[in-house]
Structure 1
């Protein structure tokens, strides 16, 4: 049952991650100049904002609900790094005149709700694989946008995020190797 739960969570994360727009390779679309923002770039920025909000929210859950110290530490890093990403996105929002989503997407909210009801090893074994899959997709999408975005500032933003996302992917991979799905829940921390 736990394995099926973890697989369904990973599948949902992959569906969420694959909803990010990917630049069509070889497309002969002329790049707008100045601060014009194409529909593709707007969609990317909006999905990046939703993803960063999701990572911050679920990072907080990981820091408090995970049994593994490594997963807890990873969660705290998600809050810090994706919080910085949100600040950069808000700056781009103002510069480019793009209104970004202020909440995670529906699938992301559903995963957050699931993870709110799980603690300990069960949390680790559902969160870690899903976050690994999501970061794998993020790296791919950000690489595509860094290379193919129509707007230069969007390309720069995507390129600047890649080193951090690659580090997250490496850390998430390490977490997968040390999961104990039967580990007890951590002691509750006072709010």
Structure 2
């Protein structure tokens, strides 16, 4: 029993070390994921603009649509240079959120939407900060340019969710 526990512990430690060392995505991976995230934010923004119970949520939804269409246009321009295929796919998390949100309305919709967006923006900011520190290449520059927009979205989501 003891050797198995030590092995499992070593495996976990090694996995954690490898994961943190290898977490940095290549520019191509980052850009592909950023486009999927833009698609996701646009889709969720459309849903909020249509179903939001409050004007603030509908307005935030429209801001997501506008900001992420611009971001996707910039990402698409970079994608051509890096031979990254553009996509209309949304993330699995976003698809799950869409399915949940479609069943809600009014204040329930607003709360679920704001909570999801706050959590999602925090994750995105972490990834964009990591990529932004990657030098003077076009993709890290893109990440630096997008960070203030993501931070604005986080503040809006937090204000709507009461955090």
Task: Please say if residues 111 and 160 of structure 2, whose CA atoms lie closer than 8 Å, have aligned partners that are also in contact.
Answer: no
Q: CA RMSD in A?
A: 2.2
Query: In 2, Cα distance between the equivalents of 1:145 and 1:74?
Result: 26
Give 1:51's aligned residue. Answer: 37
Give 2:150's aligned residue. Answer: 165
Query: How many corresponding residue pairs?
Result: 144
Give 1:154's aligned residue. Answer: 139
Task: Please say if residues 53 and 82 of structure 1, whose CA atoms lie closer than 8 Å, have aligned partners that are also in contact.
Answer: yes
Q: Mean Cα displacement is larger for which, 151-160 or 105-114?
A: 105-114
Deviations 1:96-120 (A, max 9, x none): 2111332102232222122122211
Q: With structure 1 as the length reference, what TM-score do the two structures score? A: 0.69
Unaligned 5+ segments in structure 2 are 1-18
Task: Please say if residues 56 and 82 of structure 1, whose CA atoms lie closer than 8 Å, have aligned partners that are also in contact.
Answer: yes
Unaligned 5+ segments in structure 1 are 1-22, 28-37, 179-191
Task: Please say if residues 49 and 62 of structure 2, whose CA atoms lie closer than 8 Å, have aligned partners that are also in contact.
Answer: yes
Query: In 2, Cα distance between the equivalents of 1:50 and 1:112?
Result: 14
Query: In 2, Cα distance between the equivalents of 1:96 and 1:41?
Result: 8
Query: In 2, Cα distance between the equivalents of 1:104 and 1:87?
Result: 16
Deviations 1:108-159 (A, max 9, x none): 222212212221111111110010011011111101000036x701111101
Query: In 1, Cα distance between the equivalents of 2:49 and 2:120?
Result: 18
Larger Rg: 2
In the TM superposition, what is the alpha-carbon distance from 1:171 to its structure 2 partner?
1.1
Give 1:175's aligned residue. Answer: 160
- Structure with the higher helix share, 1 or 2: 2
Task: Please say if residues 28 and 82 of structure 2, whose CA atoms lie closer than 8 Å, have aligned partners that are also in contact.
Answer: no
- SS at 1:118's partner residue? coil
Q: Which runs of 4 or more aligned residues in structure 1 lie more than 6 Å from their structure 2 counterparts after TM superposition? A: none
- 2:64 is the alignment partner of 1:78: yes
Q: With structure 2 as the length reference, what TM-score do the two structures score? A: 0.80
Query: In 2, Cα distance between the equivalents of 1:54 and 1:64?
Result: 15
- SS at 1:102's partner residue? coil
Return the structure number with greater relative CO, CA threshold 8 A, min gap 6.
1
